[in-house]
Amino acid sequence: MTAVPPASLVPAAPTVGADGVVDALALLAAGELASFARLATDAAHAPELRTRIVLSRMAAGDLAPLDRIEQALAGLGTPAEEVDDRIWQFRELLAEYDTRTTPRDWWERLVRTYVGYGVVVDVQRLVADGLDGEAAELASESLADNGLADFVVATLGPVIQAEPQLGARLALWGRRVVGEALGIASRLITTRPSLAAVAGIAESGAGLSPEQHAAFMSRLTAGHARRMKRLELTA
Amino acid sequence: MTAVPPASLVPAAPTVGADGVVDALALLAAGELASFARLATDAAHAPELRTRIVLSRMAAGDLAPLDRIEQALAGLGTPAEEVDDRIWQFRELLAEYDTRTTPRDWWERLVRTYVGYGVVVDVQRLVADGLDGEAAELASESLADNGLADFVVATLGPVIQAEPQLGARLALWGRRVVGEALGIASRLITTRPSLAAVAGIAESGAGLSPEQHAAFMSRLTAGHARRMKRLELTA
């Protein structure tokens, strides 16, 4: 890891390098592919037709911005194979969330997707905040609300209200899965210093300091707590 | 099962009843949902990024006509719950193909999807041929080539050419999976006489005679043999 330069040497508004933009867009592309796969799998487990159709459509919608992101990536001058490698690596990292967490029923599945999606989108938003121009516009399109959170709250909220025991189990499950999601977010930001630099949470070319890492994790846990609150579950 | 009326009582061009149109459109909707789920799962198993993206997009594309089919179904006067029940039942039947066949590798997975998709589309085309007006138009949109066959032939063809042993294994596998696909097609057409009536292969309200059933299966196996030939595999 590179040593963190003294704060005075860090520009107030660090310039985002081309490598950082490639990483940021590759992360968006990987997120779309991972979200598509997760929602499509959830749809296949849906207990009835309407839910299945809603989730299948949501999955398909998550894939829609991929086309423009791929075009933008192609215009950045990085060899196509290298871009593909990065998207693939990010995707593999994001997919670990699913292989490490096995829901026991439909409700746990919904909570898993709600929690994991929320953390990934929060990371992507932090990174997207450091983009400008076309990249920023693409990120905003890619991160537009897909309706998943409202759907899960509308579906799960009344069930949790009616069954406190289920609520208690799902709160425990939420802690279990957010642990995995935060672990993946942490690995993402520490193994790709360029993402941290784009997000403005670490200096360009440097790794995260322990304080910067703690601040990053703390923003993610705050976002998670807000989402659990919407379900009236203890985070 | 209703007795088959004498041939002279059967109109030359049997009118398609509303029930038949509902079944035909419900079968299209179920096919789209099943194909979406299968291609999305295949995409998640793809060995590299480009294939994954191609199959994910194909999955999303298969879902696109669902919106209009749902609207058309809503306008036919059948209660929404009944329509949903039919789509769900067809979908469950189509999904049996996947649960009954477990590919051992990526090539077997591609062959399974190629074979199963081909048989289902052939059945849907036979049924669609009996539709007219908006229903016929919707069916034609829904059954437009999604590029899967060309993709599988382009991907798998050279590999089979280069590895005759793999070709021999995939030919055997093709026989195994088409058996399941034909079994499902047979159950579909015999348990839903209205579909057979729309397709014009049995008289309205009657079940299939053994000859009609044999003719139906023979058309499906001919279609399958053509598809295997494109891969230069023995059907």
Cβ pair A124, A27 in contact under 8 A = yes
Report which of residues B13 and A190 the model is more confident about.
A190
Cβ pair A208, A201 in contact under 8 A = yes
Contacts with B93 from chain A: Cβ below 8 Å: none
- Give domain status of residue A124, yes or no: yes
Terminal-residue alpha carbon distance, chain A: 33
pLDDT over threshold 70, residue A4: no
In terms of phi and psi (left: phi > 0; alpha: psi -120 to 50; beta: otherwise), the region of A233 is: beta
Cβ pair B62, B145 in contact under 8 A = no
- Give domain status of residue B1, yes or no: no
Count: domains in chain A: 1
**Alpha carbons B222 and B228: distance in angstroms, whole number:** 10
Contacts with A57 from chain B: Cβ below 8 Å: 63, 66
Sign for the CA dihedral angle at A41, B189, B233, B229 comes to negative
Q: What percent of the residues of chain B are helix, what percent strand, and what percent coil, each to the nearest 5? A: 75, 0, 25
Give the CA diameter of chain B. 59
Task: Tell me which H or E stretch contains A31.
Answer: helix A18-45
Of A80, A193, A74, A189, give the one whose Cα is nearest residue A134: A74
Domain of A203, CATH number, reads: 1.20.1260.10
Domain encompassing residue B132: 16-230
The torsion angle over the Cα atoms of residues A59, A62, A65 and A66, rounded to 10 degrees, is -70
pLDDT given for residue A16 in this prediction: 63
Cβ pair A131, A31 in contact under 8 A = no
- Give domain status of residue B20, yes or no: yes
- Give domain status of residue B11, yes or no: no
What lies within 8 Å, CB to CB, of B169 at 6+ separation is: none
**String of DSSP letters for B146-176:** -SHHHHHHHHHHHHHHH-HHHHHHHHHHHHH
Low-confidence ranges of chain B (pLDDT < 70): 1-16
- Give domain status of residue A187, yes or no: yes
What lies within 8 Å, CB to CB, of A71 at 6+ separation is: none
Instruction: Check CB contact under 8 Å for A41 and B36.
Output: no
Q: What's the DSSP call for residue B98? A: H
**Alpha carbons A81 and A104: distance in angstroms, whole number:** 38
pLDDT given for residue A207 in this prediction: 81
- Give domain status of residue B141, yes or no: yes
- Give domain status of residue B176, yes or no: yes
Q: Select from A32, A35, A49 the residue whose CB has the most chain B CBs within 10 Å, as the one to mutate to test that interface.
A: A49
What lies within 8 Å, CB to CB, of B224 at 6+ separation is: B115, B118, B119, B178, B181, B182, B235
What value of ipTM does the predicted structure carry?
0.87
Contacts with B60 from chain A: Cβ below 8 Å: 36, 59-60, 63-64
Work out the average pLDDT over A102-116: 98
Instruction: Check CB contact under 8 Å for B37 and A56.
Output: yes
Q: Residue A65's closest chain B neighbor by CA?
A: B57
pLDDT given for residue B207 in this prediction: 81
Other C-beta atoms closer than 10 Å to the C-beta of A118 total 22
- Give domain status of residue A2, yes or no: no
Task: For residue range A139-149, list pLDDT tens digits in order.
Answer: 999 999 999 99
The torsion angle over the Cα atoms of residues B147, B105, A105 and B31, rounded to 10 degrees, is 30
Q: What's the DSSP call for residue B78? A: S
Task: For residue range A30-64, list pLDDT tens digits in order.
Answer: 999 999 999 999 999 999 999 999 999 999 999 99
Instruction: Check CB contact under 8 Å for A41 and B41.
Output: yes
E strand map for chain B: none
Contacts with B91 from chain A: Cβ below 8 Å: 49
Contacts with B88 from chain A: Cβ below 8 Å: 48-49
Instruction: Check CB contact under 8 Å for A37 and B40.
Output: yes
What lies within 8 Å, CB to CB, of A89 at 6+ separation is: A30
Of B64, B99, B88, give the one whose Cα is nearest residue A59: B64
Which one-letter amino acid corresponds to residue B138? L
pLDDT over threshold 80, residue A187: yes
Q: Residue B70's closest chain A neighbor by CA?
A: A53
